[in-house]
Amino acid sequence: MKLIAGLGNPGREYEKTRHNSGFLAMDRIAEKLHADVSEEKFEALTARVRVGEETVLLMKPLTFMNESGRAVVQAAAYYRIEPKDILVLHDDMDLPVGSVRIRTKGSSGGQKGMNSIIQALGTQEISRIRIGTDHDRKGDVPDFVLSPVPKAQQEEFQKALEIAADAAVAWITTPMDKVMNRYNTKEKASADSPAKEK
């Protein structure tokens, strides 16, 4: 069994914010897999789906971003899901809008939801899809991540969400190296199409 978790904050006031990139990508994943991520379980909204021979738990933690690990570790323990079979989607302000980066392990890079999951599972070897939201270095970080992507960048942002969702669906049945080669975008790509990262 595999688990895909899209990170964000519950509540209408957070719906369109940068920090909810994982939730927004999960909505697209659910649409592609004809799933309804609405069952409340493990302090999260969840859905179980079959993709080929794989059973997948889709998850949107309701714990707020900084406690995302609580939801993920509950589901992982209940279904005996190994860290290697977990994929996390989250925002990354160190990447430009339109960028998608896929990694199989590493530190949280300061992303508090990812850090919570790493701490809860006790390992950095967790695959993640990072969705670029950029950052105005002059501004306040909490205010920035809890603000919406501006209209001028919406097209690039929406394309990145689509690429992230496609990559997550592909990950279910495709080796990760192939997923990375296909869906990692170049640093300044417009995200018109998946491109191999150099």
Residues labelled as active-site residues: 19
8 vs 19: CA distance, rounded Å: 6
β-pairing, 39-41 vs 100-103, is unpaired
**Is the Cβ–Cβ distance between 54 and 4 less than 8 Å?**
no
Calculate the CA 105 to chain-centre distance. 14
CA–CA distance, 88 with 66 (Å, rounded to integer): 14
Half-sphere exposure of residue 125: CA atoms within 13 angstroms, side-chain side: 4
Measured between alpha carbons, how far is 21 from 124 in angstroms, rounded to an integer? 21
CB contact at 8 A, 47 and 38: yes
